[in-house]
Amino acid sequence: MPPFLVFRVDAMPSPPTLGPGDERSAPGAERVCIKVCGLRSLDMIDVALEAGADRIGLVLVSSSPRAVDFTTAGRLAEHVASAGREAWAVAAWSVSDGPRVEGLDAFIAATPQIAAVQLHGRETPEDIADFATRCPEARIVKAVGVASRTDLNGLARYAGVDAFLLDARPPAGADREGGFGRPFDWSILNGFRPEQPLVLSGGLTPLNVAQAIAETGLTQVDVSSGVEQSPGVKDARRIRDFISAARAAVRR
């Protein structure tokens, strides 16, 4: 399995390099790596890329207001890759009774421009193992809903995961995972040092991303609803403001 790296045009600075248990380092030692998720058009993707986004998330979960189909996702991923940035597929995969994007494995196999697969459902370690067997070349990012320290305790069971994306746990009765614009208590992460890199998500906006980076010390962030006018409708100014604020953030 290839290493969890970020590829981009030579003109951009190097991305954060995180070793085992080393999600934090001295202030200013690393640049922030930014993913803008839930983009559905070439025009808005270009806004994000021109503003300096490192990663673009393409949502394949049909219940999401940000969803695109496989054909559109493949076209957008090719565009992102041609710009030297990463396209992530956001999906769900369950071998039992959880949500599952049918045909995901075939799509990933046929779309080499997808740099990572973010599994954002209720995947068990067994589900992750099944997907890794079906797509052995895919880098897997497991999204985890966080509301308390207890939610982090089982992450070591996810063998084969290349990174974890930490999102707020969905509200009771939600019909999907993620994208509700709610942050979690960042102090939950104090002293948490998994072997895999961490991507901070959940309720980030242009107004709080700098604080989030300072309080958690994490150098990889993800935004979706925090740069939208309404669910699924991205706002160009907010995207630019978010990326500018994240780049200017000083970690503690």
Task: Establish whether 151 is a catalytic residue.
Answer: no
φ, ψ of residue 214 to 5 degrees: the values are: -65, -40
- Taking each helix axis from N to C end, the angle separating 42-51 and 70-82, rounded to the nearest 10 degrees, works out to 30
CB 122 within 8 A of CB 98: yes
Find the catalytic residue in 37, 54, 127, 162.
Answer: 37
Beta strands in the chain (DSSP E): 33-37, 55-59, 86-91, 114-119, 140-146, 163-168, 198-200, 220-223, 228-230, 233-234
CB 117 within 8 A of CB 141: yes
3-class secondary structure, 48: helix
3-class secondary structure, 79: helix
Find the catalytic residue in 105, 162, 167, 222.
Answer: 167
Alpha carbon 207 to its chain centroid, in Å, reads 19
Which residues are designated catalytic? 37, 167
